[in-house]
Chain A
Amino acid sequence: MIDRIKPKKADLILILLLLAAAFSLLLARGRGDALTAEITVNGVSENSIDLRAVESPYDITLQNGVRLHVEPGGISFAESDCRGKDCVRCGVLKRAGQAAACVPNQTLVLLTGKPQKGAPDAVSY
C-alpha cells in the first residue's frame, strides 16, 4: 500500500556512497605521530600543547573563564559557565582527530597529529 516502506536498491547505493565519502575524508585527514592540542577562541589560536610532553596533570584557565584540564596524553573541559555543559560532558580527548567545543564561549579544543606550532615542520600550507 505504501510504496516507500520496502528498502530499494537506491537506498543501498546512497548509503555506500555516503560511507565512501566519510572514509575518504578520514583518510585525507591523515595521521601524524605527534599529539598536539590546539586551543582556539573565536577562531584565534590561544594555545598549543604537546600532550606527549605533559608529565603531570595541570589546569589552565582561558581569558573567557573556561578551565581546561591537561593530563599526560589527554585534555578535557573541566569547567565552563555555559548552560548546556556539552563541552564538559565530552570527556577527555585522547586521540588525534578528536575535538570538543564550547559553542557559547566560542572555545574549541582540537587534537591533531601535527607537531606543536613553532616546531620545525617540513610541510607548510
Chain B
Amino acid sequence: MSTLWRFSRFVSGSIQIVRRGEPLYWGWICVLLALIVSGAMAYTNQLHRGLIVTSMRDQVSWGFYIGNFTFLVGVAAAAVVLVIPAYVYHWKPIREVAIFGELLAVSAILMCLLFVMADIGRPDRFWHLMPPLGYLNFPRSILAWDMIVLNLYFAVNFVVVTHILYRAFWKRAYSKRLVVPLVLLSIPMAIGIHTVTAFLYNGLSARPYWNSSILAPQFLASAFCAGPAILLFALQLLRKFTHFEIQDEALHKIAELMAYAMFLNLFLHGAEAFKEYYSATEHLLYTQYWFQGLDGHRTLVPFAWSAVTLNIVAFSLFITPATRRNWVTLNIGCLATYAGCYIEKGMGLIIPGLTPDTLGEIYEYAPSFNELRVAAGIFAIGFLVFTLMLKVAVPILLSEFTVDSAPDGEPSRARVPQTAAVH
C-alpha cells in the first residue's frame, strides 16, 4: 500500500511540474494542442467516410501513414545508439543523455501505434489481434510479430524510464537488478523491432522493390542516422533552457556515430542501385520510378534526388571533425539527415514499392489534405508526450524537484513547505 501511495505522490508531483511553465512552454503546448484538435477532426471525418478521404487506392494500398510508421520505428530503435555505450561501456558523457533516448523511444513507439490505428480500415476491430478474445496469426504473420515486439519494446522502455525517475523523485538510487537486465534486453529488442518492420515489406515476393535482403540492414543504417538527429536537437534545446549539463564531447560523439551510420546507409543504397541498374531486369521499373519517373509520371523524382543530396551533405558535414564541432554546421547536418531519411524511408520506401502496381498500372500517389492533417495530429501527440516527459524528467534528474518540493498527498505525512511558512 505504501508503494502505491509513494507512486501516487510521484504522479501528483509530476502533474505539478507539468502545470508550471513559461509563456514559451505554454505557447508550444497550445500549438501542439491545436494540431491535435485538427488531426482529431480529420480522423473523425475519416472514420465517418472511410479511408476514401485519403489518396490511397487499390493500386497504392499503403501510403503516408505506413511511411511515417516505418520511419518512426527507426527513430525508436535508434535509442540504442545512446544506450549501448551508456550502459555497457559505462562511458560517462553519453550516460546522462541515454535516458532521453529512451524517452524518445517511448514517444516514437506511441506514434507508430497511432499511425497503424489511423491506417487500418476497421479500428473498432483492433481487439481481433488480442488473444484470448481475438486471434493473432502468430508466427506466420509478420505484422503479428511486429505488434508483439513494438508493444514489448514500449513496455520495457516505459518501465525503465518510470523506475529511474520515480526513484530519483524519492531521492533513492535506481535498482540495478531491475534496470540493467531490462536495458540489456532493450538493445537486441531495438534492433529486433526494426528488423521485424523491415521483414514486413521484405517478405512480400509480389513487390520486388522490397523483396531484397539488403532491406533490413538498410533500415537499421538509416534509423541510426535519423534517431540521433532528432536527439541532437532536443539535447541542445535542453542545455539552453534548463540547468542540465550535457558536455560538448557527448554531442560530438553522437555526430561522429551518425557519420558512420550515414556512410553505411549511402553504401547500401548504392549497392542496391547498382544491382538494379546493371542487371536491368523488369524489376528495375520501381527504382526507375523513384529516380527518373516512368512514362512521364515524375511526382517522386524531386523527392528522390533531394533525399540523396541531403544525405550526402549530412555525411560530409559529420565526417569532417571541424564541421561537426561547429554548431551551425552540426545543426544543418542534423536537419539534412532528418529530412533525407524521412523522405527516403517514408515516401521513398512505400510508394515506389507499390508503383507500378502488380499488374503494371501507375497510380501517382500523393497524400490528401485529410491524410496530412491526421498525420500532423499524430506527430503533435508524440511531441506533446515527449515534451511533457522531458518537462518532468529534467528537474527530477537534476534533483531540482524531489518529494521535498512536492507538498501533496496525505496531510499527516506531507512536510510543510518552508516558503509557505515565510509568506
Whether both chains belong to one complex is answered with no
A contacts, CB < 8 Å to B: none
